Amino acid sequence: MADERPGAGASASGAVLEQEIRFCEVDGARVAYATVGTGPPLLLPALWISHLELEWGFAEFRAFVGALALDRTVVRYDRPGTGLSDRGDATPELTVEAEVRTIEAIADELGLGELSLLGISWGGCPASAFAARHSERVRSLILVGAYAHGEAIAPAPLRAAMVETVRAHWGAGSRLLTDVWLPGADAHMRERFARLQRAAATPEVAAAMLEAVYEADVRELLPNVHAPALVMHRRDDRAMPFAQGRELAARLPDARLVALDGDLHPPWLGDSAAVVGAVNAFLDVHDPRRATPSRDESAPLSSREAEVLRLVAEGLSDAEIARRLIVSPHTVHRHVANIRTKLGQSSRAAAVAYAARRGLI
């Protein structure tokens, strides 16, 4: 599925971020995981069913992850039975416990001693469980459109009807779920989302995963989460009632609740900028980008360096900046190198994003 609009996944300087997909073994199955960006790790547990490659083809999703990856290494994965991970004949174990084992395996594979977690929707359950079990490894926990008790999402008859529709007719089921998660979206968006769901899993696995969503209950684990937590929830989310976000924030020992406007369940749709901004601001405080030894906090950008970086943010090359400022390309290159050193950033795009968030340009 190709990008639907120009510039999908582009950084602030116009550079395109590309994900890298690898595999690791979890409970005898190969699990696909993707990384993008550089810096402190931010791991996103799988939502319910996913497909790393096809999701990346959605301009909105790619831009959302790309914005998070400007200062960090974003890690995502497809759980067994879905997406690019192994898909056997039998339905895999779809429990919070199995998901925690997957997160442990991927974190160990990547050598992540410490990490932050961004749990979206069902992904909030394993994120919370991992944070409760591994308090020494989790620097911060962010939950968006998440919940603690699946049975409270909807009345039992409605839950049963949703599962049976998915199991009996995956085409109708995928459209039904799309209508719940994307109210008001245009027909093209709804059809793209429904196709993604059908490509990500068989109807049997999708139905079993939906049952797992409703059966999950992490309420007793939440008091054991010691990491600072940010809970964000859209007030009119039809897929996950706002009361679920309130419940999470109330049960976590160190949590702040942020109510967002809107009714779309996926945070990369609607006002995604508000979500990204809140996530980055929270991480800047509780899991700041680690400065390189060469970074000099006492040396702010000079007026010329700030001018150069503003032109970099406009997408100009070194040669174009040189013509604009009537200097040599070598001089511009040296300025950019000095800027990255002062700000402790590994790329032009990261330097632009860092400086913009701190009002330096």
| Sign of the C-alpha dihedral computed for residues 118, 281, 283 and 68 taken in this order | positive
Which carries the bigger pLDDT value, residue 89 or residue 170?
170
Percent of the chain at pLDDT > 70 equals: 92
Domain co-membership, 38 together with 79? yes
Determine, yes or no, domain membership for 170: no
Sheet holding 138-144, edge to edge: 20-26, 29-36, 73-78, 41-44, 115-120, 138-144, 229-234, 255-260
Token representation of residue 303: 């007026």
Range with the poorest average pLDDT among 3-7, 165-169, 337-341: 3-7
User: Does one domain contain both 141 and 53?
Assistant: yes
What average pLDDT does the segment 69-93 reach? 91
How high is the pLDDT of residue 96? 95
pLDDT in tens, 76-85: 999 999 999 9
Residue 351 lies in a domain: yes
Same domain (yes/no): 233, 340:
no
Q: What angle do the packed helices 348-357 and 303-313 form, to 10 degrees?
A: 110
Residues 282 and 252 in one domain: yes
> pLDDT-based confidence at 13, cuts 50/70/90?
very low
The CATH number of whichever domain residue 311 belongs to comes to 1.10.10.10
Which CATH number goes with the domain that contains 118?
A: 3.40.50.1820
**Can you give the residue range of the structural domain that contains 61?**
20-152+211-286
Q: Are residues 253 and 335 in the same domain?
A: no
Using CA atoms, how far apart are residues 109 and 103, in angstroms rounded to an integer?
10
254/3 Cα distance (integer angstroms): 39
Alpha helices in 201-241 (DSSP H): 203-215
**Has residue 52 been placed in a domain?**
yes
pLDDT at 10: 47
Q: pTM (2 decimals)? A: 0.77
DSSP 46: -
Let me know whether 313 and 282 are in one domain: no
**Does position 2 have pLDDT exceeding 70, yes or no?**
no
Whether the predicted pLDDT of 11 surpasses 70: no
Are residues 135 and 259 both part of a single domain? yes
pLDDT for 352 equals 86
What pLDDT, on the 0 to 100 scale, is given for residue 290?
A: 53
Could you give the percent of the chain with pLDDT greater than 90? 66
What digits encode the pLDDT tens for the residues 197-239?
Answer: 999 999 999 999 999 999 999 999 999 999 999 999 999 999 9
Dump pLDDT digits (tens) for 29-67: 999 999 999 889 999 999 889 999 999 999 999 999 999
- The answer to whether the beta carbons of residues 272 and 244 sit under 8 Å apart is no
In a domain, 80, yes or no: yes
Q: Are residues 257 and 322 in the same domain?
A: no
If one counts the domains in the chain, the total is: 2
What pLDDT score does 218 carry? 97
> Is 260 in contact with 237 (CB distance < 8 Å)?
no
Q: Please, what is the average pLDDT of the chain?
A: 88
pLDDT digits (tens, 9 = 90+) for 177-198: 999 999 888 889 889 999 999 9
For the chain, the C-alpha Rg in angstroms (whole number) is 21
What's residue 105's pLDDT?
Answer: 95
Residue 360 has pLDDT above 80, yes or no: yes
pLDDT for 7 equals 36
Among 228, 257, 286, where does a domain finish? 286
| Model pLDDT for residues 129-165, shown as the tens digit of each residue | 999 999 999 999 999 999 999 999 999 999 999 999 9
Domain contains 93: yes
Same domain for 53 and 26: yes
Domain boundary among 236, 258, 286: 286
- Residue 173 included in any domain: no
Domain assignment of residue 276, yes or no = yes
Greater confidence, 353 or 255? 255
**pLDDT score of 107 more than 60:** yes
> What is the token pair recorded at 55?
């999701």
- Classified as helix, coil or strand, 134 is coil
